[in-house]
Structure 1
C-alpha cells in the first residue's frame, strides 16, 4: 500500500524502549522499596502489579491520546501509527501492548494448583517462551517493515514523527521470520518431549517436589540432580525454595524450620542413591513485579549422612 511514512530505524526503536524501561524501572524501584514485604508475600502474583502498570503506560501513550508516543518514543521522535500514518485508538493500542507484554510477564508463571511438570504447564511454557522469542526474531529479521508480532497482528507500524514529501510503497513482509520461529517452535517441542521421556531420574523427584511445594510459607520450588564431578558420578541434589517471608539468618541456616522440613521430606522419600550423596538447600525470598525485582538467597550444602545428624538434634 502507498504511504508517505519513514519507518523507524532498528536502534532508534531500541533506544526508545530502553528509555521507557528505565522510567518504568525507576517507578518499580520506588514501589518495591515502599511495599517490599507486601510484594514478597504475594509471590508470583506480584508480577501482575508491574504488568498492569506497563499495560497502562504503553496502551495510553502509544495511542492517539498521546500522539502514539511513549516518553521514549517522543525523545527519539518516533510514533505508533497505522498504514496511513494515523495514530491508533486506545483499544487497538491496548491489544497491541497485551500481545507484546504477555510472554515476558507470564514467562515462568505457574498456573495455581497445577503441577509444574504437568502437560498443561509444559504446553503453556512452550507457547509463552516461543511467543517471546518470536517477537524478538520478527523484529530482528523483518528488515522490510520492522514489524514484530504485535505490530503484524494489529497492522501497526513504528515510524518517524515526520513524513516523507513523496509517496512510496510499503515493502511486503518476507517469510524468513515465520520460518525461523516455526523451526524454533518445532525444536523446543521435540527437545521438551525427549527430555521429559528420557530423564527417569528427574521423574523420581516429582513426588518430592510436590510435597515440598505444599509446605507452609513455600511459594515456589525447584528440584534438580546433577553429577559432580561428572567423571565420579557423585549425585548432587539441589532443592531451591522461595518463601513468602524475608529471610535473614542470624544463626545456622540448617536449623531453620522450613529447611529442616524440606530435608526431612527429601530423606524420607528415599530417592537419593547413598548417604554420601550431596544435598544442597537454597532458600530465598524476594519479589518480582516485572518492572523491578529484588531477591535474597542463602544456601547450605551437606552430604546426606550429615543432614541426618542435623535432623536428630
Structure 2
C-alpha cells in the first residue's frame, strides 16, 4: 500500500499579463496565504521583511512584478513573498533533501524528496505549476502558491534540476545571488542542459548548495556542488545512479563540511538509497522510485514532497506523504 498522495496541477497562462495570471486560482492562493504563509512567518525573525527591498535591489527587481501580482491575489504584503524566496539562504538548518538521478531506457529520470519546513502546510498546498506557452508547458515546477524561487523544476528545453541543502562553514555570502531565485532564472532562461550546468556552476551565490541536473540523454547527469564562490561538478559513472543528500562528495578534501543537523542523517540516507535500489535501474517506473523515496530510512520527518521528473517526456509527478494531508 502506498504512503503518498498525488498532488493537483495549476496551469498559468503566459499569454496573460502577470497581474491576471493568478486570478483564476484566487481561492487556492488565498487558502495558502491563510495557512502556509502564516506558518512560515512564525518561524522567521520579525525583522526579516525589512530586507525585502535589499533582495529586490540585488535581483535587479526581476521578481518584483511576480511578487506583487501573487501578493495581490493572496491579500498579503509582497515583501512576505520576497523574503520567502530567500528562506533557504537565511535558514539552512531547516532543509535537507535526498535526490536520485538514474539512467533508464527512456532517458534520465530525476527523483527526489524535498525536505522542507513547515512540512505539513507545505504538503497541503503543494501543486505542480505549469507555465503554458500555448499547449506546451514551458516550465514545470513542484511548488506552492506564492513561491517565487524554486528548488525543483523542469524546462521544456530538455533539462530538470533539484537543489539539496549543504553547509560549508562559511555562512551567508551577502553579495551573492539568492539560491532559489537563481534556480528560477536557470529554469526560465536556459535553453539546454549544458547552459543550465554552466549557469549553476558560475554564479556567485548567497549560500552553498548541491544542484542535481539531468538532461534528455543518460550521460547528462551531474551534481553541481557549490560553495557560494566555488564549484565542483560530480558526474554519474556510466549508468550507475547519481545520488545526493546533504554532504559534499566530489572533492571532500577541499570543501569544508559543516555537518550540523543535516549531516547527521546525510550519509545514512545515501547508504539506504544505495541498498534499496535494484542492481539494474534502467526500467524503474515512477512507483518504484516513490517507494524508495518514501522508505523510512530515506524519508525525514520534514519530508514534504516526493517528485519524479522525466525531461525527455517533459513530465513531472508530484506526491506528498499521506500522513501530512490526511
Q: Kindly indicate which of the two structures has a greater share of residues assigned to helix.
A: 1
TM-score normalised to structure 1 length: 0.27
TM-score normalised to structure 2 length: 0.26
Q: Kindly indicate which of the two structures has a greater share of residues assigned to strand.
A: 2
